[in-house]
Amino acid sequence: MKKIILFFILLLSFSIVFSQSQISVSSRFGTLGDKQHVLKDNVVIKKSDLTMMTEVATITQLDDDWRDMVCSATTIKTSTLNASAEFFKFDLSTEKGQLSKKVSVKILVDKKDLYISCDVLEFNNKEKNYTGSSNDLVKILKEDYVISAKNFSYNETTKILVLNGDVRIKNDAKKIDLKTQNSTFRTDTNEMKAEGINLTLEVKETK
């Protein structure tokens, strides 16, 4: 019984709320200072609709405000987003961040999932904007659509996916294979717009 009570007190002692911006931080262990907090083991950071979970997080003061956060492998969640990566940087004030190394993203679009794999993802949580790129190609899946490009941007409000560089949009079920350098794809209607189109359509021949 004593061990259980001791663990509860230890966990609670590292639960911090920064009153001005209402950021809740908890972990099992940590080193707290005037300018920097280093938190370890089951770290959970919450602000507005965003929850960030990691094993190691360093939060540093920037311009006399607790803003700069750097994390090891991290999972972030909102009501529409679930993403993970091996490295995470985040500004707790602006809610702008960067996920890098083996980035995996799932965005909910009209009760259907949009899956994205890339090397780097920049995002603005307040505006729900996402920009990503890969040294090879970004991979995007949306129902029967398989999409690849060098880089992309996406906004949850407009639901427009902007694709650039070696773009390919393929749908075997609909027998569509589009290749271009620049394209847009609406994730709510599947409407595509492109420049310099190279399109292959499969047509069944009848006698």
pLDDT tens-digit map of 54-65? 999 999 988 878
pLDDT number for residue 86: 97
- Between the alpha carbon of residue 48 and those of residues 37, 111, 193, 206, the distances in Å are 21, 22, 35, 58
pLDDT number for residue 21: 60
**Per-chain mean pLDDT for the chain:** 87
pLDDT number for residue 207: 64
pLDDT number for residue 206: 67
pLDDT-based confidence at residue 90 (cuts at 50, 70, 90) = very high
pLDDT at position 139 over 90: yes
Q: pLDDT tens digit string along 157-178?
A: 999 999 999 999 999 999 999 9
Q: Which residue type does 70 have? A: V
pLDDT number for residue 120: 98
pLDDT number for residue 203: 63
